[in-house]
Amino acid sequence: MEITYKAIGKIRSPFKGPEGTPIQPTAAGSAAGKIELLPEYQEGLKDLEGFSHLILLYHCHQAGKAALTAKPFMEDKKHGIFSIRAPSRPNSIGLSIVRLEKIENNILHIKDLDILDKTPLLDIKPYVPEFDRRKDVKIGWMETNINKLSSLKDDGRFADK
């Protein structure tokens, strides 16, 4: 079965290539960028300005060839692709929660960015803590490595070469 999506805009970011890009939004500091939504989708932004955070779904356009196992940034051993958040996966779909600063027409100013410049945007959803947070969460193999998050950056291992 083939599924096709159309980008609704693009994400503009200070990160021009994978190397040096934060590996998660919470490790991005306050890296700022913007979303350039295609004008035909501007009406869909109605009432979004009341939300502080957004969930972005996007196409990892610089991801390398998909693999079913890979070595994540926080560890030196391979794990199944569905137990890590690497972009080189069967469907190179990325997900990030970013902070919404303001909306000007079809431009959304955002922070806490871990996304490459010119990334095609697939969808925007409001972040709602009561919907999105969970209790009694386990994080598997990451439990012993989560402390490395703030010090690691992308080293290009998942890039299209």
- What is the CATH topology of the domain spanning 9-143? Elongation Factor Tu (Ef-tu); domain 3 (2.40.30)
pLDDT at position 85, please? 83
pLDDT at position 36, please? 98
How does pLDDT run across 5-33, given as a tens digit for each residue?
A: 999 999 999 988 776 666 666 655 678 99
Asked if residues 125 and 44 have their Cβ atoms less than 8 Å apart, the reply is no
Domain edges within the chain: 9-143
Tokens 């291992």 -> residue: 157
pLDDT at position 13, please? 94
User: 75 falls in which pLDDT band (50, 70, 90)?
Assistant: confident
**Which of these, 71, 100, 94, 96, lies nearest to 84 by C-alpha position?**
71
